Amino acid sequence: MDIHTTTSALCRSHPIRPCFLNNSAPYPLHHLTRTHNTHIPSAPKSAHLPPPQIPDPTRNPEHFETHPTHFPAVPSALDATHTVSSSAQPLLPGTGNTIPSMNESIRPCGPKPANSYAWLGKEMKGAVAPDTMTSTSVQGAAQSRMVLKAALEHRRSNPTTPYIAEVWDKELKNASLLPRFAKIPQGIRDGFILNFPTIHNTQAPANSDSVYTYKSHFDASIQKEIQKSRYIGPFSAQSLTELIGPFQSSPLSIIPKPGNTDKFRLIQNFSFPCNPKFLHHNPSINSHIDANNFPTTWGKFSIIYLLISRLPPGSEVATCNIAEAYRTIPLHPSQWPAAIVRTADDEFYIDTYTVFGATPSARAYGHIADAGAEILRYRGIRPLDKWVNDHIFQNP
């Protein structure tokens, strides 16, 4: 099996734009749904730059150490140990469930901004989404709940992701990498556990004012998530609680992307609240998570300099960016109660993927990217390095 076939087989059929290291060698990355910003500068025809004194860039990070907080029978998709952490910090005194009006103003903290359907099977099924129960017949409401419940049950046993577990398992075995990355095939099949806490009391703070400032862009972003089957819903607070138990949403905000005011980034503030108080007595989702439990490798300027400085004159370099990298990683159902999105006063969705704003997201993707990079190295694609979802390939 050649490299093109092997790397393409690691993901399901999606549009892939290959990066080229020369005029004849297409290099689609191991798990791409799309690649962007392909750039092929040539090394100068001059003498080599003197290489700096830098340790060997090959790194072998330890396994993830994650600790499931729901469904104890299902092991963490990234954990290499069997230790158990505390499931949640003690709640501060206050009322039980808190769902203030969306008109409430909240103080941002943590990362700075930074038609309804339910996914069922292979196609989009329309789901009735009344604002209030009084505007819909009892029969229609019951049918809507049945559709949403079926969608949840289907997703529990069928996480959607471009990655193909069987091929990852095979390639990791061939490269003798399975002991190090054993939880990746499992996570692809069942969803990944990111140490989100068990939620004991429902908490749903209002979103940032930016969702009203850029309302049309916010609405378009929500519709995009629904159409890509990453959100399941909509639910009322009551119906969502009946299906998954107490839940916690984190405030949404939306900001223009740097350097491109026509594109916007949806951010969920998993660091809210900064300080639990009477109205928001649950600690933030991020406050429960230790990033050190999610080791990954990071490329850096000194490593790239070292690699390039050792290339002969006339070498070529290609860079590839993985589109929506975090959104390719499905969450285990045990994580859903802590990954709720609130879009209106009594309208909620379950986000079934990792998201920008949660502490483990970059490292969870990094673990998968580490495995993919090692597979490529084993197949002779080297030297290469990466920074989050940006990959650099060099061709002497």
Per-residue model confidence as pLDDT tens digits over 247-260? 999 999 999 988 88
CB atoms within 10 A of CB 311: 17
Over 50: is that where the pLDDT of 261 sits? yes
The whole-angstrom distance between residue 271's C-alpha and the CA centroid of its chain comes to: 16
Q: How far apart are CA 185 and CA 199, in angstroms?
A: 27
Picking from 61-65, 95-99, 103-107, 156-160, which range would have the lowest pLDDT averaged per residue? 61-65
Q: Does the pLDDT value for residue 105 go beyond 90?
A: no
If one counts the domains in the chain, the total is: 1
The answer on pLDDT for 34 being more than 60 is no
Q: Report pLDDT for 44.
A: 39
Confidence of residue 321 (pLDDT cuts 50, 70, 90): confident
pLDDT bucket at 279, cuts 50 / 70 / 90: confident
Confidence (pLDDT) at 18: 35
> What are the pLDDT digits (tens) for 120-139?
333 333 343 444 444 445 66
Q: What is the pLDDT of residue 99?
A: 74
Least confident of 10-19, 213-222, 274-283: 10-19
Angle at 339 between CA 218 and CA 83, to 5 degrees: 150
| Beta carbons within 8 Å of 299's beta carbon, 6+ residues apart | 385, 386, 387, 392
Nearest to 253 by CA among 228, 220, 218, 285: 218
CA distance linking residue 238 with residue 347, whole number of Å: 10
Whether pTM > 0.85 for this model: the answer is no
Closest CA to 214 of 161, 261, 248, 276: 261
Beta strands in the chain (DSSP E): 19-20, 26-27, 35-39, 117-120, 123-126, 231-235, 252-257, 260-268, 316-322, 340-344, 347-351, 384-387, 390-395
Q: What is the pLDDT of residues 349-396, one digit of tens each?
A: 999 999 988 999 988 999 999 999 999 999 998 888 888 888 888 876
C-alpha pair distances (Å), 231 with each of 82, 264, 382? 31, 18, 38
Distance separating alpha carbons of residues 187 and 193, to the nearest angstrom: 8
| Cβ within 8 Å of residue 352, ≥6 positions away | 155, 159, 160, 191, 230, 231, 232, 330, 331, 336, 339
* Contact assessment for residue 219 and residue 264, using Cβ atoms and an 8 Å cutoff: no
Q: How confident is the model at residue 174 (pLDDT cuts 50, 70, 90)?
A: very high
Residue 305 pLDDT class (50, 70, 90 cuts): confident
CA distance 352 to 154: 12
Give percent above pLDDT 70 in the chain: 65
Report the pLDDT value the prediction gives residue 386, as an integer from 0 to 100.
Answer: 87
Give me the pLDDT at residue 102, please. Answer: 65
pLDDT over 90 for what percent of the chain?
44
Rounded-to-10 torsion of CA 145, 147, 151, 153? 70
Domain that holds residue 11: 3-395
How high does pLDDT run on average in the chain?
Answer: 74
For 359, other C-beta atoms within 10 Å of its C-beta total 24
pLDDT tens string 9-33? 676 644 433 333 333 333 334 333 3
Q: At what angle do helices 361-378 and 165-174 cross, to 10 degrees?
A: 50
